[in-house]
Copies of this chain bind each other. A is one copy, B any other.
């Protein structure tokens, strides 16, 4: 800071020391060719004047911003909150800063954020897709601009781009096995909207898991919910209307489970005795509840975010935009509370 109230610049230091700006620059960067004395003098004055390099100038010159952008559907979702938390920690280690954008599942917002990130010249992007994203054209555009992007959790299909996601089949298998071991024969799945990938994935693995455990798969035991309370209740009613009412339910996520718990309470169903539930984890407060699900399928948001960040930083360090990185698939796991 100088008397004019403006940040000190290299030029100023140079003027005061009657040496050239380039010498100052080199001295500050410990360039070997600069004499020890000069270096010391420069550093001393820089200290005194509270010199701080103007990063915007450096960014501009070096075409690198030491910044990564992270795009998530919603930050207030615990799942994404812990992902971003992990990402920020890794970025901080690497001396990178994190630009943040939330899409709120709106494809238009997603594109706006990406554009904003691009004009901010972020060095790379981490992204978890919103539910409604169809057009993936932006991936190619980013590639043209040589901005690497790594997807995690909600990742695009059929595009050769680095991805980190959780394989639900392992957790679903464990869940069904746990149910079977407890003697359940009628196992249902309350799934999400049929349009979601996550939904198809669950149905697929659920079917396999049933067959692998010596049960038959009956479509009727898979009901689809729009994930509103009303829709979740309807799903429960559909299941209760079946000839052989299921005694075990795999729920799309914890929010569905909450509604199942509420529904059960209101309808005199005893959770744990009449019906057992296993859920996909977003919350982890079950231990405080009286009627928690039997277990949860953990999808490791922090680990996914961290892994994605690591891959991104590796790409940034090696400039290997072209080599295609194999999908990083974390196994989901059944976790008892």
Task: Report chain B residues within 8 Å CB of A302.
Answer: 76
Task: Report chain B residues within 8 Å CB of A57.
Answer: 60
Q: Work out how many copies of this chain go into the complex.
A: 2
Is A78 within 8 A of B75, CB to CB? no
Is A100 within 8 A of B102, CB to CB? no
Is B120 within 8 A of A55, CB to CB? yes
Is A290 within 8 A of B287, CB to CB? no
A5 interfacial by beta-carbon distance below 8 Å? yes
Is A145 within 8 A of B81, CB to CB? no
For chain A, the count of residues having a C-beta within 8 Å of the partner chain is 57
Interface-lining segment among A10-18, A27-35, A84-92, A245-253: A84-92
Is B291 within 8 A of A290, CB to CB? yes
**What 1/0 flags go to A51-85 for Cβ under 8 Å of B?**
01111110110010101000000111110011011
Task: Report chain B residues within 8 Å CB of A287.
Answer: 262
Is B99 within 8 A of A5, CB to CB? no
Q: When A81-B81, A100-B84, A102-B85 are in contact, do A121 and B56 touch as well, CB less than 8 Å?
A: yes
Is B81 within 8 A of A121, CB to CB? no
Is A55 within 8 A of B258, CB to CB? no
Is B76 within 8 A of A85, CB to CB? yes
CA gap between A119 and B56 in the complex, in Å? 8
Contact pick for A116, options B1, B97, B119, CB 8 Å = B97
A335 interfacial by beta-carbon distance below 8 Å? no
CA gap between A119 and B7 in the complex, in Å? 11
Contact pick for A102, options B89, B113, B261, B283, CB 8 Å = B89
CA gap between A118 and B52 in the complex, in Å? 9
CA gap between A116 and B84 in the complex, in Å? 18
Within 8 A of B (CB), among A278-316: 283, 285, 287-291, 302
A residues near B, CB below 8 A? 1, 5, 7, 52-57, 59-60, 63, 65, 67, 74-78, 81-82, 84-85, 88-89, 92, 95, 97-102, 109, 112-113, 116-121, 144-146, 258, 261-262, 265, 283, 285, 287-291, 302
Contact pick for A97, options B85, B89, B99, B262, CB 8 Å = B99
Contact pick for A56, options B56, B113, B285, CB 8 Å = B56
Q: Shortest CB–CB separation between residue A84 and chain B, in angstroms?
A: 5
Which partner residue on chain B sits nearest A96 by CB separation? B116
Beyond contacts A54-B60, A56-B120, A288-B289: 9 other A-B pairs, Cβ-Cβ < 8 A, are A7-B145, A56-B121, A75-B82, A76-B302, A85-B102, A92-B101, A97-B100, A97-B117, A98-B99
Is A75 within 8 A of B102, CB to CB? no
Is A258 within 8 A of B97, CB to CB? no
Is B89 within 8 A of A82, CB to CB? no
Task: Report chain B residues within 8 Å CB of A119.
Answer: 52-55
Which partner residue on chain B sits nearest A288 by CB separation? B258
Task: Report chain B residues within 8 Å CB of A98.
Answer: 99-101
Q: Shortest CB–CB separation between residue A208 and chain B, in angstroms?
A: 31
Which partner residue on chain B sits nearest A109 by CB separation? B92
Task: Report chain B residues within 8 Å CB of A101.
Answer: 88, 92, 97-98
